[in-house]
Amino acid sequence: MEPQPFKLRTWRLAQSQSVGALAAQMGVTVQAWYDWEKRRRVPHRDLMPKLVKLTKGAVTANDFYAQPDDLAA
């Protein structure tokens, strides 16, 4: 079973935003944003409030960590 796309990517595509534009708004590199979308890295805790604000709460810190239901699958 293939995992579902990560919530951050789904949100970005729904907003029709480019990675470059969002990375610039966050003050990070394009590579950093891609790494967040692919769950290779988690945003630094100092950036998390800014990301939550940018996404208007659609993406939160909890979205970057496996939940118990995810582990059971």
d(CA 57, CA 54): 8
Q: What is the pLDDT of residues 36-60, one digit of tens each?
A: 999 899 999 999 999 999 999 999 9
Give the pLDDT confidence score for residue 72 in this predicted structure: 55
> Over the chain, what is the mean pLDDT?
88
Q: Which two tokens stand for residue 17?
A: 């935003």
Region of 59 please: left (phi>0), alpha (psi -120 to 50) or beta. beta
Residues in Cβ contact with 33 at an 8 Å cutoff, skipping those fewer than 6 apart? 19, 22, 23, 26
